[in-house]
Amino acid sequence: MSEHTSISENWKKISHEVAECAIACGRNPDSVTIIAVSKMHPLHAITHAWEAGARVFGENYAQEFRDKISEAQQSHFSPEWHFIGSLQSNKIKYIIPHASMIHSCSTISVAEEINRLSEKAGKRTDILIQINTSGEMSKSGIHPDAIQDYFEKIIELKYLRLRGLMTIPTATDDIKQLIKEFSQLRTLHEQVNGYIPEQQEWNVCSMGMSDDFSIAIQEGATHVRIGTAIFGARLY
Ligand SMILES: *Cc1c(COP(=O)(O)O)cnc(C)c1O
């Protein structure tokens, strides 16, 4: 099978599964956005997914993100790009103003730098706060207990639009554990809603990847981030 055909078949299969899964738990299929995670895949793979119907793409690495976008712009291809990878303050200049949402905000310095560069670009940037639901020290993200404190420190940053939360759960196939972590994110999202100013549109829960998106949708994901199941294995 050609690369084009396999990506297009994969997209059809995954978008169908996501819709079926939403319907099975009484949700509107439109309430779940699929982010096609295209890190380490070339632009032509992304355009195959676009032709099949994918509209939102997620990238992890700041320089790769910048280079891919400039290549895309040369061919007048401008899908919606999200940045989902871990972030260092000095690389944020590569992703603003192109990222319409940044999923991985978890330090004050990153939030301040996104705010500063967004102001300079004359726009507000949608951000998600990454939460460490797994408790693993190696994972980035804020401890669930620290969310209110973090929030208070960034709420004054006017060029951020706080949209919701994101998590990467423990790498496990233990369904109970995954349910626990996803539902924790969902509960936290609802709790925080109580102290968010209304104009922020606090309505995004980004969770679920190729192997666990159906569980995440059951637990309330609004955005699932799917790479391997659409583009195939990544070559590192
Ligand atoms: C790579 C990545 C994904 C996609 O993972 P797959 O298992 O390939 O679907 C999702 N979210 C984040 C943060 C990633 O880094």
**Where exactly are the structural domains of the chain?**
3-231
- For residue 45, give the amino acid letter: A
List of the chain residues with pLDDT < 50: none
Instruction: Tell me how far apart the alpha carbons of residues 137 and 114 are, in angstroms, rounded to a whole number.
Output: 25
Q: Which of 37, 60, 139 to mutate to test the pocket of ligand 1 (most atoms within 8 A of CB)?
A: 37
Determine which helix (DSSP H) or strand (DSSP E) holds 59, and give its type and residue range. Answer: strand 56-59
What is the model's pLDDT at position 49?
A: 97
Ramachandran region of residue 163, left (φ > 0), alpha (ψ -120 to 50) or beta? alpha
E strands, 92-171, where?
A: 99-105, 125-131, 160-167
Q: Which residues of 145-173 are buried (b: 16+ CB within 10 A; e: fewer)?
A: eebeebeeebeebebbbbbbbbbbbeeee
The model scores a pTM over 0.75? yes
Instruction: Tell me how far apart the alpha carbons of residues 223 and 220 are, in angstroms, rounded to a whole number.
Output: 9
Q: Determine the atom of ligand 1 nearest the C-alpha atom of 213.
A: 9
Residue with CA nearest ligand 1 atom 7: 210
Instruction: Tell me how far apart the alpha carbons of residues 83 and 58 are, in angstroms, rounded to a whole number.
Output: 6
What is the model's pLDDT at position 1?
A: 67
Enumerate long-range contacts of 145-150, CB under 8 Å, 24 or more apart: 147/188, 147/192, 148/192, 148/195, 150/106, 150/108
CA of 195 to the centre of ligand 1 (A): 30
What is the model's pLDDT at position 3?
A: 77
- For residue 143, give the amino acid letter: H
Q: Supply the DSSP string of 158-210, one letter for each residue.
A: TTEEEEEEEE---S---HHHHHHHHHHHHHHHHHHHTTS-GGG---EEE---T
Q: Determine the atom of ligand 1 nearest the C-alpha atom of 209.
A: 9
CA of 65 to the centre of ligand 1 (A): 15
Please list every protein residue whose CB sits less than 6 Å from any atom of ligand 1: 37, 39, 60, 84-85, 168, 209-210, 225-229
**Under a CB-based contact definition with an 8 Å cutoff, are residues 58 and 64 in contact?**
no
Note the CATH architecture for domain 3-231.
Answer: Alpha-Beta Barrel (3.20)
What is the model's pLDDT at position 140?
A: 85
What is the model's pLDDT at position 26?
A: 97
Residue 65 class from Cβ within 10 Å (0-12 exposed, 13-18 middle, 19+ buried)?
Answer: buried
What is the model's pLDDT at position 198?
A: 73
CA of 211 to the centre of ligand 1 (A): 10
Q: Determine the atom of ligand 1 nearest the C-alpha atom of 60.
A: 15
What is the model's pLDDT at position 136?
A: 83
Residue with CA nearest ligand 1 atom 12: 84
- Beta bridge partners, 33, equal 223
